Structures are given as structure tokens and as C-alpha cells.
């Protein structure tokens, strides 16, 4: 028996997702499809590039690996086969410290660090929906970058598996990471 809400908003799996044709980028959150268009702005890409360069330089020769979107991050609810997974995200930037999670399809399981850069079309989803999804699936650290406010909201997972009280860093501050001890980047350069 199908739920009336499901017939109005069909639910999809990764098995459906990989069959879709076209150039649009999509994400699935609990089976609901979200289009990732339009493409990011130039400012978004500059910020993304600055963070990627900082993380790449820091991680050189270390076991963790940094990736840029688009890369599928499959977040299973249990041990279901890939084709049955109902949450597939493409974070702007992600760091994975467990190589076993990386395969030819992307990443299966929670990255250690996720970065999302806000845009008008994704702001609410990144700040509310994905915040809850990343917590549920055990992402250890989540940075939400706001290009309009020149700030980064830092969320860190506590020992209970829930977000600790977040903190917001401004352009004049230095961003560091508990997931990557020793990493730091002045935000002034990121937002320049």
C-alpha cells in the first residue's frame, strides 16, 4: 500500500539515480530528489578552490583524502546494497580518512569532514536538512560557508553522536579542524 504523500512526491534509490540521463546534477535525501542546478557562482568556486588548496596542501602525504564535487556520497541506513540506498549527496568538498569507504562510485558512508558553500537555491537545505542528515550518518565535522556574510559555521559531532553547540567564524578569524589536527587556514584569504 502506498502512502498518499509518496504518490505526490515519488521516492527514489541510488539504483534509480544512476539510470537518470541528462546533464543535471541531483541529490537524494531520504529518497526525495533535489536538482543541483543552476551551477555555482564564480565567488562560490573561488571559495571552494581556496579551501581545496588549503586542505590538499595540508593532507599531502597523509592518509586522509580531499575530494571536490561532483562526487556521490552514498549514505546507507544500514547494510543495504548500493542500489537500495535512499540518500546520495554531493558535498562541495569532503575529506575521507578511511580509504575503505572510497570506491569507483564515490564514497559509501560518512565522510570525516564535509563542506557546503551556501547559495540562494541550497541555503535552507544545507543549513537545516543536510545538517540533520550529516548528524544522523555520523559526519564528524561540517562546515557551512556563507559567502554573503563571509563566515563559516562549524559543527562538530560529540561523543553522543549529536552536534555540539556550533560556532560561527568571521572573515578575520582562523578556521581549524578537530578532525584534522594541525590544520588551520585564515579566513581572510578564503574570502578574498
Q: What is the pLDDT of residues 68-113, one digit of tens each?
A: 999 999 999 999 999 999 999 999 999 999 999 999 999 999 999 9
> Exposure of 163 by Cβ count < 10 A (0-12 exposed, 13-18 middle, 19+ buried)?
middle
Q: What whole-number percentage of the chain has pLDDT above 90? A: 80
Question: How confident is the model over 119-124, as a mean pLDDT?
Answer: 85
| Whether CATH 3.40.50.300 fits 4-190 | no
Strand partners, 156: 141
- What's the mean per-residue pLDDT of the chain? 92
In the predicted model, is pLDDT for residue 57 greater than 70? yes
In the predicted model, is pLDDT for residue 3 greater than 60? no
Instruction: Please name which of 126, 181, 119, 120 lies closest in space to residue 153, comparing C-alpha atoms.
Output: 126
In the predicted model, is pLDDT for residue 23 greater than 90? no
- Hey, where are the domains in the chain? 4-190
Amino acid at each position: 500500500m502506498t502512502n498518499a504523500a509518496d504518490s505526490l512526491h515519488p521516492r527514489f534509490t541510488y539504483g534509480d539515480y544512476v539510470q537518470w540521463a541528462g546533464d543535471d546534477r541531483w541529490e537524494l535525501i531520504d529518497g526525495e530528489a533535489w536538482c543541483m542546478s543552476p551551477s555555482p557562482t564564480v565567488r562560490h568556486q573561488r571559495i571552494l578552490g581556496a579551501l581545496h588548496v588549503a586542505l590538499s596542501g595540508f593532507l599531502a602525504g597523509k592518509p586522509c583524502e580531499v575530494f571536490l564535487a561532483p562526487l556521490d556520497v552514498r549514505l546507507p541506513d544500514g547494510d543495504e546494497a548500493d542500489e537500495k540506498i535512499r540518500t546520495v549527496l554531493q558535498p562541495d568538498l569532503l575529506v575521507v580518512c578511511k580509504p575503505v569507504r572510497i570506491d569507483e562510485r564515490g564514497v559509501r558512508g560518512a565522510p570525516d569532514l564535509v563542506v557546503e558553500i551556501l547559495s540562494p537555491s541550497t541555503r535552507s537545505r544545507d543549513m537545516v536538512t543536510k545538517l540533520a542528515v550529516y548528524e544522523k550518518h555520523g559526519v564528524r565535522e561540517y562546515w557551512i560557508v556563507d559567502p554573503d556574510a563571509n563566515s563559516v559555521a562549524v559543527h562538530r559531532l560529540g561523543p553522543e553522536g549529536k552536534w555540539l553547540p556550533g560556532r560561527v567564524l568571521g572573515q578575520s578569524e582562523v578556521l581549524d579542524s578537530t578532525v584534522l589536527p594541525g590544520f588551520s587556514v585564515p579566513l581572510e584569504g578564503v574570502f578574498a
